[in-house]
Copies of this chain bind each other. A is one copy, B any other.
Amino acid sequence: MDATAREAQSGLEWRVTVPEGASVTVEYESGLAGRAWAWLVSCVAVLGAKVSGFAKKVWKIGADDPRRAVHSLKVGLALTLVSVFYYTRPLYDGVGGAAMWAIMTVVVVFEYTVGGSVYKGFNRAVATASAGLLGLGVSWVASKSGDKLEPIITTGSLFLLAAAATFSRFIPTVKARFDYGVTIFILTYSLVAVSGYRVDELLALAQQRLVTVAIGIFICLAVTVLVWPVWAGQELHLLTVRNMEKLADSIEACVDDYFAADAEEEEKRDPKASKSEGYKCVLNSKASEDSQRNLARWEPAHGKFGFRHPYGQYPKLGAAMRHCAYCVETLHSCVGAEVQAPEHVKQLLSDVCTRLGAQCARVLKEASRSIAAMTVSRELDLAVAEMGTAVHELQGDLRDLPFSLAKEPGEASLIDAMPLFTMASLLTEISARIEAVVEAVDTMASVAGFKQPEDDDEKKGDAELKLKVHPVNESDSDEPPENNRSKATV
């Protein structure tokens, strides 16, 4: 019944296909014209399919993040504003004049995030002003030093300054904060030095250009801040929070997949594949973290982010998370490995490993919630302590494994359990690296001044949590949790 329905469906699909159908019907008409027509129809159909495929892809880009479409409209708006501003001015003097610089400024300065626009605007303004002043000074000196020396001074200073400024871009601090400014500095100085204008003409020109650039920057910043602003700091914050959640889900899913019985394996693995591979996002996020951090420091205070919000902590937190993700990557390949421990051996550690995986995920999720809310989490320390307990339980079970195996029916060598040992070691190492992540979160909480939590009693289910956690804390006292936090334990 199901098969026939599918056949009927696929038959329908085939009948819809335009190019083939068209070529079949026109085969009766003889001659070149008919074939050409068929070819044309099939070409149009293929082109139409390609265009609609492309349109769908483009639509998806916009639908995935509507702020992209908004950003495009914002650029259009800023450009329209600046052009209308210059259109309506009585002193309008064509493309060679002031309007050009304002338009150029808007096109080049407008960036996706507020931080990006501020960075470029600041760099452009400062570089234009300083290079203009320097150029004026050198022009003045050159004009006083005679017709013969003048071109030598002008060209020589251009060569030296351009070379020095270009070289300064290789200094990491300059690269990170003033890269665009250096370009504009060289550009402005070249224009002033080579202009050949007299100094008094230059002064007027420089003043006009500065005002125009300022107007362009002002329009950019107004549009970027007032119309649905995208803050680089907030993006960085969200990226970090999201990555931490993905890492948590990934660890839990990996452990669950590992101990899922082989029979259920196929059904279980597919829907979870995306979850257990979440660590990949963490592995690849360094570049975007660094660039967003560089832009975020230009942003004024906004929302929960103060003026001196420690954006520098995010890449450190990201590094700790990546350190953890490297290990999760190895764990993930254990799940898909060909050589596995026998199922009944796996079952011996299944409970304790699953518990540890869940505790690891709980710690990361709690840390992620704490960062998301910018609030110190009371539960975080408890979760870390419980994770430490789970590690001890795992180590205890591992120590008992030879005796457990001996009790099992059939012949189970300890060597068969080797892949399981690897899995357990990796899980232990992951929990140690999660503690490093928690330390980074603690540092961020103290540096960024996270809020103290409100009265916990309001929170749902907190009372039960405390009851569950208390005995764990006591049993942990013979092995202080500080010890767990110290170092890798693989």
Contact = CB atoms under 8 A, between A and B. Distances in A.
Interface of A: 57-58, 61-62, 68-69, 71-73, 75-77, 79-80, 83-84, 86-87, 92, 94-97, 99-100, 103-104, 107-108, 151, 155, 158-160, 162-164, 166-167, 170-171, 183, 186-187, 190-197, 205, 283-284, 286-287, 323, 326-327, 329-330, 333-334, 336-339, 398-399, 401-402, 413-415, 418-419, 421-422, 425-426, 429, 486-490
Given A58-B171, A83-B155, 15 more contacts: A69-B167, A72-B163, A75-B186, A76-B159, A79-B186, A87-B196, A95-B192, A103-B194, A283-B326, A326-B326, A327-B329, A327-B330, A333-B488, A337-B429, A338-B487
A86 B58 CA distance: 44
10 contacts: A61-B170, A72-B164, A72-B166, A76-B159, A87-B196, A94-B195, A333-B429, A336-B488, A421-B425, A422-B426
B94 A197 contact: yes
Contacts of A190: 79, 83, 103, 107
A90 to B, nearest CB: 13
A86 B151 CA distance: 12
Nearest to A489: B339
A99 B190 CA distance: 10
A192 B99 CA distance: 11
A191 B86 CA distance: 12
Contact of A187 (B76, B80, B104): B104
Contacts of A333: 327, 429, 488, 490
A173 to B, nearest CB: 10
A453 to B, nearest CB: 34
B196 A92 contact: yes
B171 A61 contact: yes
A99 B298 CA distance: 34
Interchain residue pairs A-B with the least CB separation, the first 8: A76-B163, A95-B195, A72-B167, A422-B425, A76-B159, A72-B166, A96-B96, A72-B163
Contacts of A399: 415
A86 B195 CA distance: 10
Contact of A398 (B83, B418, B490): B418
**SS class, residues of chain A in contact with chain B:** helix
Contacts of A71: 166-167
Contacts of A337: 429, 487-490
Contacts of A323: 329
A191 B100 contact: yes
Chain B CB within 10 Å — which of A75, A86, A399 has the most? A75
Contacts of A413: 402
Chain B CB within 10 Å — which of A108, A162, A170 has the most? A162
Contact of A107 (B151, B183, B402): B183
Nearest to A73: B163
Contact of A75 (B61, B76, B163, B418): B163
B79 A158 contact: yes
A233 B346 CA distance: 49
Contacts of A151: 87
Contact of A425 (B83, B155, B418): B418
Contacts of A80: 155, 158-159, 162
Contacts of A96: 96-97
A196 B103 CA distance: 14
A326 B57 CA distance: 33
Contacts of A205: 95
Contacts of A62: 167, 170
Contacts of A327: 329-330, 333
Nearest to A99: B194
A221 B77 CA distance: 36
Contacts of A97: 96
A489 B336 CA distance: 9
Nearest to A338: B487
A108 B187 contact: yes
A75 B162 contact: yes
A86 B194 contact: yes
Contacts of A334: 490
Nearest to A108: B183
A360 to B, nearest CB: 16
Contacts of A284: 286
A280 to B, nearest CB: 11
A52 to B, nearest CB: 16
Nearest to A487: B338
B159 A194 contact: no
Contacts of A166: 71-72, 75-76
